[in-house]
Structure 1
Amino acid sequence: MAKSIVSAVLEKLGSLLMMPEEIKQNVELALALEEEIGKLTVHFQDIQSVLQDAESKQVKDGNVRNWLKKLKDVAYDVDDVLDEWKSAKLKPQLEKEEKEAENFPLFKKIRRSISSFTFQTVQYYNIASKIKHISQQLDCIANEKDRYKFGLEKEVEESRRLITASFIDEEEVYGRFEETAVLVNMLVGENSSGGSRLNVISIVGMGGVGKTTLAQLVYNRNDVECHFDKRIWICVSDPFDEIRIAKEILEAFKGESPKLVGKDNILQEIRSHVLGKKLLLVLDDVWTEDETKWEQLKNSLKYCSHGSRILITTRKEKVAIIMGTTPSNLLLLHTLSQEECWSLLSHRAFRGRTREESENLEDIGREIAGKCQGLPLAANILGGLLRFKSTREQWQSVLDSEIWDIEEAERDLFPPLSLSYYELPLALKQCISYCAVFPKDMALSKDELIKLWMAQDYLKGVRGEQMEIVGEEYFDELKMRSFFQLFKRDELDSDIVKYKMHDLIHDFLQVLMETECLMIVSNGFEELEVDLSCERAHHATLIRKEATPTEPNIYHLKKLRSLLIDSSYHDTSSLSPYLPKLFDQLTCLRTLNLTNSLFGNSIEELPDEIGNLVHLRYLNLKNNRKLKELPESLCELCNLQTLNLKWCDSLEELPSGIGKIINLRHLENERTDLSLMAMPKGIGRLTNLQTLSVFVATDSSNASTLGDLQNLMHLRGHLKISGLGAVCDVAEAKKAELQKKEGLRTLILEFTISKGSMSKRLRRRNDKVLLEALQPPPCLEKLEIWCYCSRTISPNWMMGLTKLRHASLGSCLHLDSLPPLGKLPSLESLYIGEMRQVKEVGVEFLGVEREETSALPSSSESPSSSTIAFPNLKHLEFFDLKEWEDWMSLTIGEEEHISVMPQLCSLTIGSCPKLRELPSYILQNTSLKQLDISQSPILSGRCRKETGQDWLEISHIPSIIIDGLCSQVNSSSVEEFGVLQLQPIHSSSISSKDFLKAFTQN
């Protein structure tokens, strides 16, 4: 970590030499700064050359660890000064732009310029003073390093690596029955040979999860042994020595060490030995990502017979892909179940004990097994330790200890985990180390974690990539190295994924970062005591178990760069009185998380002192539902990158000077449109914006217009535009140029009237033209249109959305016909709701015109000329179509040549009281797995079990639910397709009635 920080600081030091003109005019200040900057640079360069050796020695030498801590503290201080410098240079530029925009009178401009010049000069003198003080500190640290006799660029001392062999005692293995069966089938099953002569199969998982054990199990099975002519086991480890591996392969064939010299000679010999033989080669513990080291060896093995296999074990999914593993041949190995883990631990711990002794210790033993979190290596180590402890008191002591405080665990468990860490590049070490600040077992969002890394300046692209892209690459790399494991997908949006770290990896990181990352648990602020040695900690999570009126005593942690306040137990309202002092004291903060519990009392006002946090990059105010406004001082935070205002649904306006936060990249404001009256002028200046969740349109001259979206060319992801019901200027809509924003994936258009709009009348006649002007980019994947007021809805651009997967049309009260959505080739889910004029759904909805279908292809024409309507639709929902009577079927001739919804899995129909019957293409649809009908009495009667007219035609559907009652559930078929877990496919998490209520009140 120290090397990463020092490297980052050295990159930035040069920028200090590019001094503003006002400093250059002050010769004394300029010369002093240049001299101190030169000294800092020389010291850091000198120290950087020995940091690898220092970081390897810190594990065993407390003095070295303390020296590194002091070095990191100084490096952070320099980084903060550099940040102040950058901000001081930026503010005059912003003030100049603001004056020009405000069209100030000349005398006011001159007066403000003089004031600004004086203020800036004072700032530069303060910065120069800080640099001199830091330089003196670094002098001492540089002199102190010589006492430790560090080596230059010495390689990090690696933890010992075990050399494995193929032998195993199967009685010592618990669990893995399913994984063994899957792996054996990959090796010898009927479908295992595929089209390749030599398939590569990979077992991937974190250190200690049992990859080698599983490989040993299958390697020694009789059916595997009989299937292959030759089996060879090689422990590869790191570095990947292709010559050594090749010689070991030859030794396995010849029974003696080969005396050949030269790679080509060795590979030619391998080719002759494998020729025509069915080979199983196990390469255990592979680390290298250098494909060239593997390619030549693999080519020499390709002359074996069909059905040969290479089985590799690795911690890195990327290695498996590089070595040629296909997705179907990749086995991701997860942890053991709790019962399997207990069986493994108890087998070792109770060996040689009487039944009475074992029963006496079992309750504590099961709790100790829980500490292993399913990791076989940990269960083995703790089981072996407990074997030599005889009393309950001794077992209780193990249970009460942190796992890293146990000598045997630290000796035997620490090295396998540290191997994965020390093998990481510097940038990835920084990113994964930061995760020590989170509470154990916390579910992490990939996008949120990337923003937190970005706030700490960890994401530097070598080819000028955007930080978010670099962050995705880093996260994916860490996931492929088994540091993160998939936890769950969001129920309403499958693209939102949560990840977790294994508890032991988290514990390991906390050991490494024990003085940098604090976990402060307070049962009442008056009891909060933090060790003085942690006063220069840089990242902290405050978990408040009790909300008390006493002051949070964390002000002495003045070097904090991250403060994450966990409000899971209590809301943020009790913090309000202490926020001004907090913002005054903790001025080094780059990350501040004040997320509130969703329904708790929240902060009502953010104090002006927020403007003191000049380094702040990330501010999370999510769920502070009583927050009504943000102070203008927030706009002084020119370094702010992420501002999260999700569910701040009492917020009536954003600060008018928001255009000054020119580094803002993510403005997350979902649900604020329920209260926001408009968007402030200046939004168009935020040209770095990538996330703008909600834009509130209005006809007010005092607010931003749709045209201000024109400059936001980097917008990506999700954009909702509300308040369109008050927009009269179609030219402004065209000026927004949504079609050029190729990063957008979701677009929600609400033709409502915002609170701040001057006009309170509905403009029904303009909606059609306005919708045409709001053309989205062709790569859009999700489109929602709400409260649209024209009778037809089929803009010219709609059928060009060939990648559209999800669509919703809701509360379009004047719409009397549905658009031809069946033409959309990628559409997977469709919601149609709250229509008052739709009486019939005809074949036009399928995208098939009557005149087209009348000219049916002759029998001599190819069947490929047939039409497929809704070719990929899986989920369809109709809700609250009160006047809908007819859902038209195809004619006999049409049915022969038109395929409709061939992949439909679920159909939901609710509150359609006049709908008479389902069309034949639904009744006969064999792909349908769930039919749910409610508050539609005519249709419900036709579909009731045994008595309904249509029952025989729909009885093939595994799950049929009529008015909440299951008429038929075939659980095995339903579980196969997962349809019982289907959520409503419209995006709104509030009910349709609540949705209408929220907007009709405007």
Structure 2
Amino acid sequence: MADALVSIVLERLASVLEQQIRQQVTLVVGVESEVDNLKSTLQSIRAVLADAEKRQFSEELVKVWLERLKDISYQMDDVVDGWNAALLKLQIAAENPCIPKPKISSCLPSPCVCFGQVSLRRDIALQIKDIKKQLDAIANEKNQFDFVSSSTIQQPHRRMTSSVIDVSQFCGRDADIDVIIDNLLGGSSQESSSLYIISIVGMGGIGKTTLAQLAYNDDRVKAYFHERMWVCVSDPFDSMRISRAILEALQKEPSGFHELEAVQQKIGTLIADKKFLLVLDDVWTENYELWEQVESSLKGGAPGSRILVTTRNENVSTMMGTAYKHPLGELSKEQCWSLFSNIAFKGRSREKVEELEKIGGKIADKCRGLPLAAKVLGSLMRLKDNKKDWEDILNNEIWQLDVIDKHLSTPLLLSYYDLSPAVKRCFSYCAVFPKDQIISKDRLIKLWMANSYLNSRESIEMEKTGGDYFEDLVSRSLFQDFVRDGEGNIISCKMHDIVHDLAQYLTKNECFIVEIDEEKEVRMASSFQKARHATLISARRVGFPSTIHNLKYLHTLFATGVVDLNNAKFPPNLFKHLVCLRALDLSGNVLCRKLPRNLGKLIHLRFLNLSDIFFPGGLPGTICDLYNLQTLIVSNVGSFLTLPQGMRKLINLRHLEWEASKLVMLPKGIGRLTSLRTLTVFHIFGDHLGRDVCKIGELKNLNSLRGGLVIRGIADVKDAEEAGEAELKNKKHLHHLELEDFGRLVSSAASKGVAEALQPHQNLKSLKISRYDAATEFPSWIAASSLAQLKKLEIVYCAQITCLPPLGELPLLESLIIEHMKRLKYVGGEFLGSSTTAFPKLKHLRFNDMEEWEKWEEKEEDDEEEGRSVMPCLHFLTTYKCPKLESLPERLLQITSLQVLDIRVSPTLQDRYHKGRGKDRSKISHIRKVWC
């Protein structure tokens, strides 16, 4: 971890000197030799850090030495980053003549001094000299420890993505699962109680949560209970949060209640006379009064209802009134070996397994029956290919250490030490998240970026580097509880408590979770004074603590939803003191309509989340002074948001996100932000607004855009020539595109011409066209030759279209949705196209709200081809709300892969295929589920 910090400083020092040369600006003179000496000293220290980090657990003096090194590394990073920011400001001033050129005496905050009106170059030089003096002292002290020098710098392990396995599938607890499920399903002796509590009790890492998950997702359990809810409780035990989580699990949507009584009344209504299963995972409190506040709302369920609790503490089990307690012990030697070997030997040849099996058995014995240890060690050994690597792990000196901390395990330390320095830094940063918090992969990578942990080389995107680091941690079982998207990609995860304990131990004086007391303002302890990353949490919205400014060295501050709704104020001088911030999340403070003064002074800031905050006058213009900003998130800020005109100055901005904020006015000049990777919505406004508005041509130079883009208000594009200025064909990284609102007032020819000019790159994977109202036919590029990679297509609200294009020729199309086509009456062979196999990959086909659609035929009258295949992979077919549709093509109904047919609110089809009276019911009898 210290190695990663030192490497960041070395890269920054080289970068800032290179930038001075490139810009032909000598902002700071006379420090070249000092910088060279700094670099030399840092490199000599870096050579011994691998040994130092291992010895810190057994030698207190080494640990103290490393803490001092990390502190001075942070100071150096702040100074050099401030130097870089000043150079950046000069660059922006040169590119924007309308912006006043900064004076050399500009204020450059740093953790050491505030520059005020003194000379910038002089203070940077003085700070570098002071840091060099401290660093020299640290370098001299290292000699007393006789560290072993390492000449190689370990790089992140590179794997093929396909080799990653989800180790959650391995358990080794078959007998325990059977017992838990038997108790959940109950017997006649248990039915008299409507609140029957089962507790799984065991030490951390023993597999309690995994066991509960397997039982919760068992098919028998799903069938037995009317309702199932899973709530992660953790510590502290917050009755309101837990009750709200129960309610949201029941409602399948967010709760709008803010009072405990209202939440619990609603819970009682929803579970009345229903058998429910509630899992309360990771309960710590022994306070019956707190438990009683939650329990009181759960007594109205039907007999047979169950509450399944996981806890480390037997006293918790007793306090809650457990009817059956299941003590979870260590795995047997055979179970532990099975769990370890299934992971470690996955995909290996028989010969390789035989070579490593004996050593593997000895390593598995060191897991001491803990499933988490077996998973982590198995994952580690899976990355080791030769016998010597396995022997090195078996004989590692870490096994000889005394117990480091009751919450830390040797297998986790081994896995941690096997990480590269850069990935170690990324892992330990996760200590800033509270335990059991769901961690968004995308957000985590952007936070790593903000803290300069992902400085990529060889033209590799920072985001790609972050994705590789994340996958490395996944492959080692340091993340778990994955949520995946439709393509199987991980979008979020959690950390096991024991893994989180390790991250916290490694960042003991850096990362803090600060709980704000409900009755008195939090006291910032002296140990917090040099905190670099902090998360504020509270059981209620209690106001923003004014003493937060004492944490003046913070690089990360998460203050999500901590402000009292009735007293929504920030300390007025908050950002006057927190000048080192790299990442700031203020989301969820709904009524904080005005941000604190001095926001624009946060020259280091790279990540800013202002979601769920209402800004009646638009975002403050001071945001445009945050020249280093990489990520700006303003989701859910209301129905309209105006971005300030100075946004063009944010030349480092890579991600501009505003989901669920329907109308966002982009300022003129947004096209200068050529670093943009994410631009959620591009809304076009007409000249009638009487101001400088952003035109579609601003997209021309934004060729780094990737992911998804929604273009709204296309009706305000004058003609095809203007639309062509967007040059969407050059956006090769853009995989998801939505084109909305072509308007009704434009002529058919003009509307089609605009659409033709908006042809996307052939790499596009999903496309949605909506409110294409004026044109009578689709643009010619909706064809296999132009959209060969397309997997999903939505066509909705196209009022004048009377004929569908040959979509059957799209070779990779998996999902097709066609809705609200008011003039479409006939679908025939033109829809299938001329391919030998029409729709070869299509799985989901949905027609919805087709008011005039009457006939659907699989070929034209002159089409005699009978041998070709049609939709061989179709799983789901929907014709919802198609009142005039007479029948479905028989060839489609014969597809053996078809599993679900939905013909609701289509009366003619419902009569034809009705289970009791339909004359063609026999033709769909093989379909597993029919919604009629």
Asked whether the two chains share a fold, i.e. TM above 0.5, the reply is: yes
Q: 1:36 to 1:745 in 2, by over 3 A?
A: same
Sequence identity of aligned pairs in percent? 39
- 2:645 aligned with 1:653, yes or no? no
Amino acid in structure 2 at the alignment position of 1:836:
K
Partner of 2:307: none
- 2:738 aligned with 1:748, yes or no? yes
Partner of 1:127: 124
Pick which of 500-509 and 451-460 moved more: 500-509
For 1:561, which of 550, 555, 563 is the aligned residue? 555
Counterparts of 1:593 and 1:659, CA distance in 2 = 23
Provide the aligned C-alpha RMSD in A. Answer: 3.8
Partner of 1:778: 762
Count of aligned positions:
719
1:741, CA displacement in angstroms? 1.2
Partner of 2:857: 888
Cα deviation 1:532-578 (Å, max 9, x = unaligned):
122111111111221124634321111111112233xx668578521
Pick which of 523-532 and 115-124 moved more: 115-124
Q: 1:716 to 1:809 in 2, by over 3 A?
A: same
Counterparts of 1:218 and 1:590, CA distance in 2 = 40
1:216, CA displacement in angstroms? 5.6
1:125, CA displacement in angstroms? 3.0
Cα deviation 1:687-724 (Å, max 9, x = unaligned):
11111111112343712222221111111110111110
Q: Is the 8 A contact 1:681 1:704 kept in 2?
A: yes
Q: 1:743 to 1:544 in 2, by over 3 A?
A: same
For 1:867, which of 802, 824, 836 is the aligned residue? 836
Q: Is the 8 A contact 2:685 2:693 kept in 1?
A: yes
Partner of 2:815: 829
Cα deviation 1:640-691 (Å, max 9, x = unaligned):
111112233344311111111111111122333x222x32112111111111
1:873, CA displacement in angstroms? 0.8
Partner of 1:65: 63
Unaligned runs of 5+ in 1: 103-108, 157-171, 180-207, 221-227, 239-281, 288-311, 325-406, 754-759, 849-865, 963-1002
Q: 1:685 to 1:217 in 2, by over 3 A?
A: closer
Cα deviation 1:243-270 (Å, max 9, x = unaligned):
xxxxxxxxxxxxxxxxxxxxxxxxxxxx
- 2:686 aligned with 1:688, yes or no? no
Q: 1:571 to 1:119 in 2, by over 3 A?
A: closer
Partner of 2:92: 94
Q: 1:574 to 1:125 in 2, by over 3 A?
A: farther
Matches within 5 A, 1:121-520: 122-153=119-150, 174-175=173-174, 213=335, 215=337, 234=356, 315=377, 320=382, 410=405, 414-485=409-480, 487-490=482-485, 495=489, 497-520=491-514
Counterparts of 2:416 and 2:567, CA distance in 1 = 37
Q: 1:628 to 1:545 in 2, by over 3 A?
A: farther
Q: Is the 8 A contact 2:545 2:571 kept in 1?
A: no
- 2:903 aligned with 1:925, yes or no? no
Q: Is the 8 A contact 1:941 1:948 kept in 2?
A: yes
Counterparts of 2:752 and 2:683, CA distance in 1 = 19
Q: Is the 8 A contact 2:704 2:731 kept in 1?
A: yes
1:5, CA displacement in angstroms? 1.0
Unaligned runs of 5+ in 2: 108-117, 154-170, 179-329, 343-349, 367-373, 387-401
1:11, CA displacement in angstroms? 3.0
Counterparts of 1:542 and 1:19, CA distance in 2 = 37
For 2:930, which of 947, 953, 960 is the aligned residue? 960
Partner of 2:750: 766
Partner of 2:174, secondary structure, is coil
Q: 1:286 to 1:909 in 2, by over 3 A?
A: farther
Partner of 1:604: 593
Cα deviation 1:387-415 (Å, max 9, x = unaligned):
xxxxxxxxxxxxxxxxxxxx979479621
Q: Is the 8 A contact 2:829 2:860 kept in 1?
A: no
Partner of 1:94, secondary structure, is helix
Pick which of 695-704 and 614-623 moved more: 695-704
Partner of 2:915: 945
Counterparts of 2:62 and 2:363, CA distance in 1 = 35
Compare the two structures and name the one with the higher helix fraction: 1
Partner of 1:587, secondary structure, is coil
1:810, CA displacement in angstroms? 0.8
Partner of 1:934, secondary structure, is coil
Cα deviation 1:922-964 (Å, max 9, x = unaligned):
32222211112222222222222121122111111111112xx
Cα deviation 1:39-89 (Å, max 9, x = unaligned):
534543443343333322221233332232122111111101111111111
Q: Between the two structures, name the one with larger relative contact order (CA 8 Å, sep ≥ 6).
A: 2
For 1:877, which of 806, 829, 846 is the aligned residue? 846
Counterparts of 2:778 and 2:893, CA distance in 1 = 28
Amino acid in structure 2 at the alignment position of 1:124:
R
Partner of 2:598, secondary structure, is helix
Q: 1:630 to 1:124 in 2, by over 3 A?
A: farther
Matches within 5 A, 1:2-17: 2-15=2-15
Q: Is the 8 A contact 1:751 1:787 kept in 2?
A: yes
Q: Is the 8 A contact 1:687 1:711 kept in 2?
A: yes
Amino acid in structure 2 at the alignment position of 1:594:
L
Q: Is the 8 A contact 1:627 1:650 kept in 2?
A: no
1:30, CA displacement in angstroms? 2.9
Partner of 1:663, secondary structure, is coil
Q: Is the 8 A contact 2:544 2:570 kept in 1?
A: no
Q: 1:141 to 1:410 in 2, by over 3 A?
A: closer
Amino acid in structure 1 at the alignment position of 2:443:
E
Q: Is the 8 A contact 1:810 1:832 kept in 2?
A: yes
Counterparts of 1:920 and 1:588, CA distance in 2 = 68
Q: 1:571 to 1:906 in 2, by over 3 A?
A: farther
Counterparts of 1:89 and 1:316, CA distance in 2 = 48
Matches within 5 A, 1:897-916: 897-916=867-886
1:10, CA displacement in angstroms? 2.4
Partner of 2:559, secondary structure, is strand
- 2:570 aligned with 1:578, yes or no? yes
Amino acid in structure 2 at the alignment position of 1:590:
R
Partner of 1:907, secondary structure, is strand
Amino acid in structure 2 at the alignment position of 1:791:
T
Q: 1:152 to 1:217 in 2, by over 3 A?
A: closer
Q: Is the 8 A contact 1:549 1:574 kept in 2?
A: no
Partner of 1:877, secondary structure, is strand
Amino acid in structure 1 at the alignment position of 2:612:
N
1:480, CA displacement in angstroms? 1.5
Pick which of 638-647 and 43-52 moved more: 43-52
Q: 1:457 to 1:549 in 2, by over 3 A?
A: closer
Counterparts of 1:427 and 1:219, CA distance in 2 = 29
Q: 1:886 to 1:211 in 2, by over 3 A?
A: farther
1:525, CA displacement in angstroms? 7.0
Amino acid in structure 2 at the alignment position of 1:779:
N
Counterparts of 2:19 and 2:126, CA distance in 1 = 16
Counterparts of 2:727 and 2:808, CA distance in 1 = 27
Partner of 2:206: none
- 2:606 aligned with 1:617, yes or no? yes
- 2:665 aligned with 1:667, yes or no? no
Cα deviation 1:429-460 (Å, max 9, x = unaligned):
11111111112122222222211111111113
TM-score w.r.t. the length of structure 2 is: 0.70
1:2, CA displacement in angstroms? 1.4
Q: Is the 8 A contact 2:340 2:377 kept in 1?
A: no
